A and B are shown apart, each in its own frame.
Chain A
Amino acid sequence: MRELVTMVVVLTVLSAFSGGLLSGLRNATAARIEVQQLKFVKGPAIKAILTGATNDPITDRFALKDGDIERKFFVGKFDDKANTVVLESFGKGYGGDIGLMVGVNIEEDKIVGVSVTTHSETPGLGATAKDDPGFAAQFKGLSLNETFKVTNDGGKINALSGATITSRAVCVAATGAGSVYQKLKPQLVEKLKEFNQ
Chain B
Amino acid sequence: MAKTFTQEFTKGLWEEIAPFRLVLGLCPVLGVTTTVENGIGMGLATTFVLVFSNLLVASLRNIIPSKVRIACYIIIIATFVVVIELLMQAFTYPLFLKLGVFIPLIVVNCIVLGRAEAFASKNSISFSIADGLGIGIGFTLSLAALGAVRELIGANNLTLWTTPTSVIGLQEVFGANFEPFAFMVQAPGAFVCLGLMLCGMNLLGSK
Interface residues of A (CB under 8 A from B): 3, 6-7, 10-11, 14-15, 18, 21-22, 25-26, 29, 32-33, 36-37, 39-41, 95, 120, 123
Task: Please name all residues of chain A whose beta carbon is closer than 8 Å to the beta carbon of B101 when the two chains form the complex.
Answer: 95, 120, 123
Interface residues of B (CB under 8 A from A): 63-65, 67-68, 71-72, 75-76, 78-79, 82-83, 86-87, 89-91, 93-94, 97, 100-101, 164
Residue of B nearest to A121 (CB): B101
A119 to chain B, nearest CB (A): 10
Chain A contact residues: helix, strand, loop or mixed: helix
Q: Is the CB of B90 within 8 A of A22?
A: no
Q: Is the CB of B91 within 8 A of A3?
A: no
Residue of B nearest to A21 (CB): B79
Q: Is the CB of B97 within 8 A of A41?
A: yes
With A14-B72, A15-B75, A18-B79 known to touch, is A32 a contact of B65 (CB < 8 Å)?
no
Task: Please name all residues of chain A whose beta carbon is closer than 8 Å to the beta carbon of B76 when the two chains form the complex.
Answer: 14, 18
Q: Is the CB of B71 within 8 A of A11?
A: yes
9 nearest A-B residue pairs (beta carbon): A36-B93, A32-B90, A18-B79, A29-B90, A33-B89, A7-B65, A7-B68, A29-B86, A40-B93
Task: Please name all residues of chain B whose beta carbon is closer than 8 Å to the beta carbon of A21 when the two chains form the complex.
Answer: 79, 83
Task: Please name all residues of chain B whose beta carbon is closer than 8 Å to the beta carbon of A29 when the two chains form the complex.
Answer: 86-87, 89-90
Q: Is the CB of B63 within 8 A of A10?
A: yes
Q: Is the CB of B71 within 8 A of A25?
A: no
Residue of A nearest to B71 (CB): A11
Roughly how many angstroms separate A33 CA and B96 CA in the complex, as a whole number? 11
With A22-B82, A36-B89 known to touch, is A7 a contact of B94 (CB < 8 Å)?
no
B78 to chain A, nearest CB (A): 7
Roughly how many angstroms separate A2 CA and B66 CA in the complex, as a whole number? 14
Task: Please name all residues of chain B whose beta carbon is closer than 8 Å to the beta carbon of A3 when the two chains form the complex.
Answer: 65, 67
Q: Is the CB of B93 within 8 A of A10?
A: no
Roughly how many angstroms separate A26 CA and B67 CA in the complex, as a whole number? 31
User: Could you show 16 A-B contacts with beta carbons less than 8 Å apart?
Assistant: A3-B65, A6-B65, A7-B65, A10-B68, A14-B75, A15-B75, A18-B75, A21-B83, A29-B86, A33-B90, A36-B91, A37-B89, A37-B93, A40-B164, A95-B101, A120-B100
